[in-house]
Amino acid sequence: MVEPGRPSISSTLLGTGFAVGTEENRLTSRSVRSFVIRNGRLTKAQQAALENLLPLYGIPFRGQPISSEEMFGNDRPVWLEIGIGNGDALIHMASMHPEVNFIGVEVHAPGIGHALQAIEQVGLTNTRLIHHDAVEVLESQLKPGSLERILLFCPDPWHKKRHHKRRIVSDEFAALVASRLMPTGLLHCATDVAEYAHWMLEVLNQAPGLTNMSSENTFVDKPTWRANTRFEKRGIRLGHVMHDLLFQRNEERVNP
C-alpha cells in the first residue's frame, strides 16, 4: 500500500537493483563517454537518501523499455532532463508543473542524493531519478515517441579539441533525441560556453529530425519557466552569456 503523498511505482520496478556505486563501468557500457565520474564525497545525508529514498523515487536501469504508467502510475506528458547536477532546476520545474511527469538522469551519486532529499522535502510525486548514462537510458529504457520534452542544460563542454568526441551533442545524439520525442516534442539545450553553443547549433540545425524554433535558425530567448542551474549561476558570476537552443521534432524523424 502506497503511503499518502508517496509516488506510485509499478511493483515490477521495485527491488530490481539500483546502481549506487561510482564506477563508470556500472553506469555505462559505452567506450566513448560524455562524462567522467569525479571523486566527490557523499555526505551522510546524501548516502542516507540513496539508501532510503532511491527505492521510492528512483527507477533502476534495466535496459528494457519502461512505460510512463510503470514509472508514474499515470499517462501524463513526460519531460526528461539529462544531467540534473544537484537537481535544483529539475525540482523547480517539477514544482511549477504538477501536470507533467519529470525524469532526471544523472551519473554523479552526490547529485542524485541531493535531489532525492529535495524531492522528499518538497513532497513531489511527479519526479523520478535514474542513476545511469543518459544516452543508454534513451537508447534502451525509453520508448520511441514517449517524451514531450528533452532538456539538456550546461552539459560538459569538453574544451580541448581532442576531447570533442566526448561531447554529448552529436549527429547520433540528435537522431536519438528525435526518435524519442513525440510528434512536435521539444529539445531544449542551454550553455554558457559560446563555442559549444555554436557547435550544438551547427549539429542540431543539420539534424533531419529536428527543426530550429528560432525564425533565424539561431538561438532563442531564455524561457521564463527555466530555472538557473548551478553551473549557469557560476557562469553568470564569471560574466558568461547563456545561449538557449530550442528544436522541435519534425516528421522526418531519424531512427538510430
C-alpha torsion angle, residues 256, 223, 111, 127 (rounded to 10): -80
Which DSSP symbol is given to 103? E
Contacts with 238 (C-beta within 8 Å, 6 or more apart), sequence order: none
Euclidean distance between CA atoms 208 and 250, whole angstroms: 8
Report helix, strand or coil for 218.
coil
Residue 195, all three cell numbers: 563555442
Q: In terms of DSSP H, where are the helices of 68-126? A: 68-72, 88-96, 109-122
List 88, 156, 171, 192, catalytic entry: 156
Report helix, strand or coil for 76.
coil
Pairing state between β 78-82 and 127-130: unpaired
Cβ proximity of 50 and 10 under 8 Å = no
Active site residue 75: no
Cβ proximity of 196 and 167 under 8 Å = yes
CA distances from 124 to 23, 94, 95, 116 (A): 29, 7, 7, 10
> Among all residues, which ones are annotated catalytic?
156
